[in-house]
Structure formats: C-alpha cells, structure tokens
Structure 1
Amino acid sequence: MTKIQPSAPLRSPHGSLLRRKAKDNPTLASILGSYEKFSTAALSLVVSDKNSVFALVEAFNAYRNEAVYLFESGKNVPQENLRSTMLEELFSWLFKDLFAILQFDQPTNYWAGKATSSYLTLTFAPKNFQSLFEDPNPKISKKDQDFAIGATVAIKVMASKSDDSAPALTVILPVVAIECKTYLAKNHLDMCSATAQSLKRANPYCMYLIATEFLKMDSEVTPEVTDISEIFILCKAENAERKKRQSEGKPPHPMHADVVWELFSMVMGHLRAVWWDPASSLDRGKVIGRPF
C-alpha cells in the first residue's frame, strides 16, 4: 500500500514517550514493535470516512490489547504516563487528514495535539491608578488540554501611549478540545465542567468533548446542564467491569469503532459549519451557529 503523508502536523505523544523510555527499559522495549506496527498501519490510512475510521480503531485495539495491562502493572512508575497518552495518540491519528476532507490548504499556525497554553481569559491588574496609564499589567490565563484543534495566535496588550516593544504572548485558540480519561468519575466531571465553562466564555465556538474509556459515576450527576458538548464512553463499560476483567485474566475491553466514528463525525460537522456570520443569517435562517 502506498505510504500517505498526513496533511496535518502529526504529534505522537505516546509513541515519542514509548520510544524514549524503551531505550532503558527491556519490558517497554518488548512492546515497541507492536506500537510500530500500529503506527505503520495508521500512516497508510487516509482517515476520511467510516471505513478508514473503523480500520484505524481496529489497528489501535490490536496494539492496545497487548500494551494496556503492561502499562497498568504498577503505580508511580514510568508506565503511568504511557497509559494516559494512549487516547491522545489515537486522536492525533484520527484527525491527521482533516484538511484533505475540508479541502483547503493547511494554515501555518494550525495546531492539533496536546495543548499546554489554551487561551482562557485576559485580565488587568495595574499596581495603582497612576501605573494604569503606563503599565496596565495584562495577565493572560491559559489551560492545558489533552487534545485540541485550533490555531496559535499572538496576543499583545500595551498602553496606547507606550512604544511597540511589548512582547507578544503566543497562545492556542481551540475550536475543539477533548479531555481524555481512562475512566470518568464525578470529581473529574466537575473539573471538566468548570474548564468547559471557562473555555466557552473565552471562545463560544469551542466544542468541548470528554472521551473516556470507562465510566465511574452514579445516575445523580447532571452533565447535561454543563457546557460540555458531549461525553463519549469509548469502551461502553463501567470501570468496575474493567477491573473485574483484568483480575480474571481476560483481554481488555476494546474501544468501539462506532463511538469513535460518532465523535469523528461530530467534530468534522463542527469544522465544516458556518459559525458567526451575521451577513448570511437571513440565508441560513439562524444567527449564532454555536456548537451545543
């Protein structure tokens, strides 16, 4: 099969970490071949339709089936970071060909992958009234995101009478943010809810998703009243089932390709949509165009 280069810059947080740690860890080195087999299979795909998404998930499940128990075998060990980066890696591959789908050239400031500087707020804290006119002391708040699609933008704020030497701060303006969880518990949901609210206050056109492998919550939680756009349970199982399966020596739960496909379709629908364009509101019959 012809090797296809991804149209977007591919960041592989899991693979990069595994390769680095495998140099000094024979146990991790034993699984590296399985990862390389997965990444080769993923690179050969143009991920643009249901068949290709299902093929990607099948290849990822084959690797995950061999690796996940190994990464969960200890506490406070290097394997922990490897386990937590698996989903981040999957989404890097899942959206690698989005510009081929959208059919426009990839901008130079495009961002896809883990984001350590997603924009949240701009506030001012001048020392006193006198300093307000020379140094309004702008402060930009940022937030880490497990996976984000968006743009890097430079923000510069200065007093109108000052010179232009003030440094600009580069941040990521996400339009899709995905929180990746091995399992989702109520405390996780509360934190995600607060993050979603902050992100959407700064950027109303940011879709905020949670992708969790397993669920660990009771029926009393109310995610529907938050700013979270959707929660996807990729293994369609509770966390207790995951632990029981592992204790019985059974293979790990696979990720369900139909759920990944639904997530992919939801994101691509958002990226294709018209957002804020009042000039076309009469033609479209709606004004805001914000993601739910």
Structure 2
Amino acid sequence: MKTYDELIDELNIINETTKMDLSALPHCSNLLYQLQKRDDKNHKFLDSVIKKYIDIRKITFSNIDDYVNKIVACVNDYMDMFWPQKNNPYVHQSDFASSVVPEMLCLIFYEIIKANKSDMEVSAQKNLTIECIFDFTDGGSVRFKSKRVDVAVVKNCLLKLDDKEYELPIPLLAIECKTNLDKNMLSGIEFSVGELKKTFPECNYLVVTELSDFAVKKLNYASSGINEMYVLRQQKRAEVRRAPYPRNSINTDLVKEISYLFEKSLNDISIESGQLNKKMQEGKLIGRN
C-alpha cells in the first residue's frame, strides 16, 4: 500500500502530465482533500480507488466515440467500487461520489477543445454572470449577479468600463450536474436558466443527472430554457434505494450525445455568418440551420 505522500504525488504528476488545472477536476480535488486528512481508517480505501482513478486519467483521445466508450466504461467500474453507499466511507455532503460525473464531462470537453485547437476553457463550479447592473456610483460602476453551474465551457473576456476591467466569461455550454434530480431542484434551475439566457441566448444549458426523483409523466420542461435533460442511468432514485440496490451503469450513448452536441456548438462559433446578399437569396436572414 502506498503512503499518503506517494498517492498525493501520483495525482499531482498526472495533472501536470495532462496539463489540466484543478478547476476542471472536481473529483481529483476531492481526492487530494481526503488524502490531506491522512485518516488511517480510509487509507486502504483511497489506495485502491486511486489506482482505478489513474486508469481514467490515462485514457488517450483519438476520436469522440472511442474516448467516450473507454472513459464511461472506466467511470462505471470506478463508481462501482463505492456502491452501494455502505461501501463509501464518505457522507453524501462530502461530494466524493457526486463529483465523478462532472469531472468525466470536463475531461471529455477538455479533449474535444484540445483536438479542435480552440481557446475555450472548461471549468467545474463556474460562476456565470446572469445579470449586469450599471450605475453612477464612484463615477460609474457595474455589479454582477452570478449563477454557479457544475460544469461550464466559456470564452474568457474582459469588460472595460472607464479605466476598470472586469472578467466576463461568455458561456458556450452550461451544465447542472446532479446525482438525484427532484422537482424542487428543477424549479430553481428553470429560474436560473431563464435569467442566464437573457444575457447569453446562444448558451446551451443542459441538466445532467444520474437518477431522477420526480414524476416525469406529470411534468413537461420542453417549454423552459433548458436545452435538454439527461438521466444517465435511466432510472428513478426509488429503484436503487432498496436492496439489492440494482443500479444501472451510466449510458454511453447519452454521454456521446452530450459530447457531439458540444462539438457542434464549438464548430458553430467558428462558422462565418455570411453576407446579407447571400442570405437574402436563401430567404433566411438569420440562417442558424
């Protein structure tokens, strides 16, 4: 069994090798936090899961289908190590298990961005501006109202007001990522997405959850600003809470759909809108489709 220092070094080395920042690695950040506690009772558990975790991080990217097939298979194996909950030494509030899927999405988006030689940035737990308030205070100032999302892909820009500069990340993709999604969470998400899309109407806003915890047939969210809602395990929470805890694996095809949607969004921003004369000939002046 490796020492705590050896395990910490192993994670730091893989981060340096892949050139990924911890801001895009919520589960790795959680592992490092748990390792820093140096709790003897969890030493054996951490030693075993980090071996599997490193396997995820060593997957190389050639194309979306191949990479998603491999990473989803590894993530499913990894998460099975601490399922059911009695096999997980950490409480739900620690975000140990719930940080895995957001990191998987960040890893996929990072590889797609790199393959497309884009300057977009992927981040977990990102604050996105949903409202700007301008006033005359101190000779002119701006105040931002922000909404934190679990995963975001942004273009980092600067907003200059007089001699002051403010960071203003423009989101291409925003994702709310949950383990169990209930109707109360959805109500809050619906309000936030409405506010966000007033400022960034072209942002794709997705809700990704492992399990659902509401009556799907009684509710219709197609009219909201949410672009799509994905239930990765295609199950309701109640089904997995009873012994023998029959939890489905994360669906690879759904993760591929999210990945291709992101790639299309990335490609769309590099397409020239075209000349008005050409659009007039086609009879469509916006020409998104």
Q: Is the 8 A contact 1:38 1:63 kept in 2?
A: yes
Determine the structure 2 residue equivalent to 1:268. 263
Larger RCO (CA within 8 A; separation ≥ 6): 1
Name structure 1 gaps, 5 residues minimum: 128-133, 159-163
Note the 1:1-292 alignment, pairs <5 A. 6=18, 11-22=24-35, 23-32=37-46, 33-46=48-61, 48-70=63-85, 77=91, 80-102=94-116, 104=117, 106-107=118-119, 110-126=120-136, 135-158=139-162, 164=163, 166=164, 168-218=165-215, 219-244=217-242, 248-250=243-245, 252-274=247-269, 278-280=273-275, 282=278, 285=282, 286-288=284-286
1:82 counterpart SS class: coil
Name the CA distance, whole Å, in 2 between partners of 1:118 and 1:259.
Answer: 25
1:222 counterpart SS class: coil
Name structure 2 gaps, 5 residues minimum: 1-13
Name the CA distance, whole Å, in 2 between partners of 1:70 and 1:29.
Answer: 18
Deviation at 1:51, TM superposition (A): 2.4
Distance 1:47 1:14, change over 3 A: farther
Q: Is the 8 A contact 2:59 2:70 kept in 1?
A: no
Deviation at 1:67, TM superposition (A): 2.2
Amino acid in structure 2 at the alignment position of 1:151: K
Name the CA distance, whole Å, in 1 between partners of 2:123 and 2:224.
Answer: 24
Deviation at 1:39, TM superposition (A): 3.0
Q: Percent identity?
A: 21
Deviation at 1:13, TM superposition (A): 1.2
Deviation at 1:224, TM superposition (A): 0.3
Distance 1:20 1:8, change over 3 A: closer
Deviation at 1:26, TM superposition (A): 3.7
Distance 1:236 1:64, change over 3 A: same
Distance 1:114 1:99, change over 3 A: closer
Deviation at 1:137, TM superposition (A): 3.3
Q: Is the 8 A contact 1:123 1:140 kept in 2?
A: yes
RMSD: 3.1
Name the CA distance, whole Å, in 2 between partners of 1:113 and 1:287.
Answer: 34
Aligned residues: 268
1:83 counterpart SS class: coil
Deviation at 1:179, TM superposition (A): 0.5
Amino acid in structure 2 at the alignment position of 1:90: M
Provide the TM-score with structure 2 as the length reference: 0.80
Deviation at 1:251, TM superposition (A): 5.7
